Amino acid sequence: MQASAADDTVEFGNFRLNRRSGELRRTDHDASSPVVIGRRALGILCVLLDRPGRLVAKQEIMDAVWPGLAVEDNNLTVQISALRRILDRDADRSCIQTDPGRGYRFVLPVRTLADSTADAADALGQREPMPVAPGPVLARRNWLGWLAGSAALLAGAGGLAAIEWGGRLTGGRGQPPRMSVAVLPFEAEKGDPVLEHYADAVTETLTTDLASPVSIGYFSPSLVAPHEAAVAQSEKHLDAKGIGAALRVRYVLTGRVRRVPDKLQVSVELVSTETGALLWTERYEDEPNAALAEPQVMARWVRPGMVTQIFNVEAARSLRERPDRPDAMDLVLQGKSWEFQAPSPQRIVKSRECYERALQVDPVSVNAMTALANALLMVMWTSGQPPPGGTGRIEKLISEAEARAPNNPEVLWDRAVLLWFRGRWPATEAAFERLYTSYPTWNGAEFMLGRCYLLLGKTDDAIRMFRFSIRRSPEHFFIWVRYHVLAMALLLVGRHDEAADWSQRGLAAHPENSPSLLAEQYLTLASAYAGSGRRTEAHEAIGQALRVWPFVTVRGYWTGSRPSPQFAAQLARVEEVLRSAGLRDHADEDAETGVQPQTGLRGDLIGLTPDMVPGANTIRTSGLVALLATQRPLIIDTTGSGRSIAGATGLLGAGSGGGLDDPLQARLRRKIDGLTHWKSEAPIVTLDWNAERWGGYNLALRLVALGYTHVSWYRGGEECWQASGQPTVDLVADDW
């Protein structure tokens, strides 16, 4: 007997799924709206709904959703993450539980519409959930009919119209929404079922990723193509303009997959549906076995280039169409177009200015909050100093964004990076783990998680993540960083030849890097050479490091925290190799440099320092040991993090240059007054990394100008304190 329509419809939470049509709908405040869901994710959902409350083995799911195909576990992980992004929105916990290594369990009660109807009729209360069988999933395979279930709209969340099934546009009929794009099914060489499956998987991964509620972090995509319209157009051969008119999108992405000698090649094109112009084309290649096992990697390669081009086109369009009255999303788009170019201080400033204006236009825009927080974090990343307003402003931006969109990937990213700067390593690892698990295609998540693994002594896991990061984003403009950190990880576990190879790649990828970073790369190369017995080449690499940056030391190779015994022991071995190769251990705190004391603040914080500071004492290590034995001074470390003196307060940027009447001075007064309980005679010690850093010197001058009468500058800094064998602890930076 044929099942009724009520039996075909399943309810769980605030969702309703029609098994026969594959349509999923969400109910919010008594209003029902369709939900974009990929074909594979929908198939997995049907399998789980068929067995509510039961553990479903991973292989059982894969056999049902990918019948007869050899599929890697990663494919299932990606689709489960996509499902969770859809189903767990605003939920305290996931409706899909993971049993590690075994499978998944759907924990919400599942009911057929027939159950609900009967309940309403006889008011008997809730019955036991009735098992339901998975229905057909997107049976139509013609390209435009398929497109109706997979096109994605990247409509701006900042007040832009949302498109739903039936072609209803909440903002009225007009031009296609900005950022709207349709991903057409990728073509494959005819007669090759493996390539056809791979092309489908790449297309689906791209579409699912873009169609997630926060796929790029700045947008809330909706389904663009009304199902009925797509079916009506399914037999027509349309060009880009025709597709744009039928689906009301501004852009179409097409792709082709083919085999070339020893490679699998994917070619993509982005076309304007308004003009028919080709906006961007790119070709990607990968090893066949690796590519076929992980189609989401190829999708990951395609997305950043496509998104960058759309951002740039939309930013230029907003400047052209609304030069004098931009809305918040216009300004975010313009800021991102600056940010997506090769990094430079000027471009960082330009992007930050756009985000500041966006917040002025719309103070509650999550897009603007996260973009500005990320830009301010980039200032810290590139300069080592906090941005204007300090880390407190970054914290405020992230907290406000979290209150509005706690699961937004850009919010998760900003929070994790801020934790990184604060040196809170277990919390940082957990934050990046959450981002990577929730959004496995999020660019950079696996790389930063690998860096956490490195610091916490999980070096083999770190190496795996770094290699994966490089393969997933081979064209990333920070690829040299990924090469360098992989080289360092290999160095820590004694794989010296591999470390030398990756270190050379890093140097070649960005030969115009800043002098300090080039020197760090040369030291990694020197240690790799020395560890493999290539002493002459090691000395040459150290010479190169000194030529580009004369302030390098053994202890300065890694100035950050060493939060795990494993990492500390590995670094100690690398340092010993550098020491044996002839690099100086540390900067001498008693060195006579001939540099004269100055009463003004120094802007460039790296360089030889005087042996005294006007208005304050200058103390050496022995003097600080004696002072600590008799008093309890307030110790302020301007590095903000690293291994420092027990009890020190980390105030990143407190020793910045500027003027003694600048805004930083006012912030510093409030902070120090609180730390000293308004006692101007309180003993205070300032320090930086070593005797070739001016942060501690500048801070001493600032404190003297504030009226503090017992200020001492510890010239040797963290480095000399460590070299003297004094006890150290990990320093956690204060918010101020």
- pLDDT, one tens digit per residue, over 306-328 is 888 888 898 998 899 888 899 99
pLDDT of residue 189: 81
pLDDT of residue 70: 67
Looking at per-residue pLDDT, the higher value among 272 and 179 belongs to: 272
Share above pLDDT 70 across residues of the chain, in percent, rounded to a whole number: 85
Distance (Å, rounded) from C-alpha 197 to C-alpha 390?
A: 51
DSSP string, 277-304: -EEEEEEEEE-HHHHHH-HHHHHHHHHH
Segments making up each domain of the chain, as ranges: 5-122, 143-290, 617-731
Record the pTM: 0.71
pLDDT of residue 236: 55
Distance (Å, rounded) from C-alpha 148 to C-alpha 230?
A: 5
pLDDT digits (tens, 9 = 90+) for 2-19: 444 445 788 988 888 887
Judged against a pLDDT cut of 50, whether residue 155 lies above it is answered with no
* Neighbour count for residue 124 (Cβ, 10 Å): 9
How sure is the predictor about 342, in pLDDT bands with cuts at 50, 70 and 90? low
Judged against a pLDDT cut of 80, whether residue 424 lies above it is answered with yes
pLDDT of residue 140: 28
Contacts for 683 with CB less than 8 Å, ≥ 6 apart: 627, 631, 632, 633, 634, 710, 712
pLDDT of residue 243: 82
Distance (Å, rounded) from C-alpha 435 to C-alpha 430?
A: 9
User: The domain 617-731 belongs to what CATH superfamily?
Assistant: Rhodanese-like domain (3.40.250.10)
Judged against a pLDDT cut of 80, whether residue 404 lies above it is answered with yes
Mean pLDDT score across all residues of the chain: 83
How sure is the predictor about 30, in pLDDT bands with cuts at 50, 70 and 90? low
Looking at per-residue pLDDT, the higher value among 112 and 358 belongs to: 358
Looking at per-residue pLDDT, the higher value among 220 and 639 belongs to: 639
* Tokens 């080592």 -> residue: 384
Residue type, 505: R
Share above pLDDT 90 across residues of the chain, in percent, rounded to a whole number: 47
* Neighbour count for residue 570 (Cβ, 10 Å): 21
The pair of three-digit structure tokens given for residue 374, joined into one six-digit string: 């990320």
Question: What are the helix (H) ranges across 473-555?
Answer: 479-492, 496-509, 515-531, 535-548
Residue 236, classified by CB atoms within 10 Å of its CB into exposed (0-12), middle (13-18) or buried (19+), is: exposed
Looking at per-residue pLDDT, the higher value among 734 and 226 belongs to: 734
pLDDT digits (tens, 9 = 90+) for 558-588: 988 899 999 999 999 999 999 999 999 999 9
Task: Give the range among 415-424, 594-603, 690-699 with minimum mean pLDDT.
Answer: 415-424
Topology (CATH level 3) of domain 143-290? Rossmann fold (3.40.50)
Give the 3-state secondary structure percentages of the chain, helix then strand then coil, rounded to 5: 50, 15, 40
Q: Average pLDDT in the 327-347 region?
A: 84
Q: 119 in the Ramachandran plot: left (φ > 0), alpha (ψ -120 to 50) or beta?
A: alpha
Looking at per-residue pLDDT, the higher value among 51 and 463 belongs to: 463
pLDDT of residue 95: 87
List the one residue out of 441, 531, 435, 542 whose CA is nearest residue 492. 531
Looking at per-residue pLDDT, the higher value among 357 and 307 belongs to: 357
Judged against a pLDDT cut of 60, whether residue 601 lies above it is answered with yes
**CATH architecture of the domain with range 5-122:** Orthogonal Bundle (1.10)
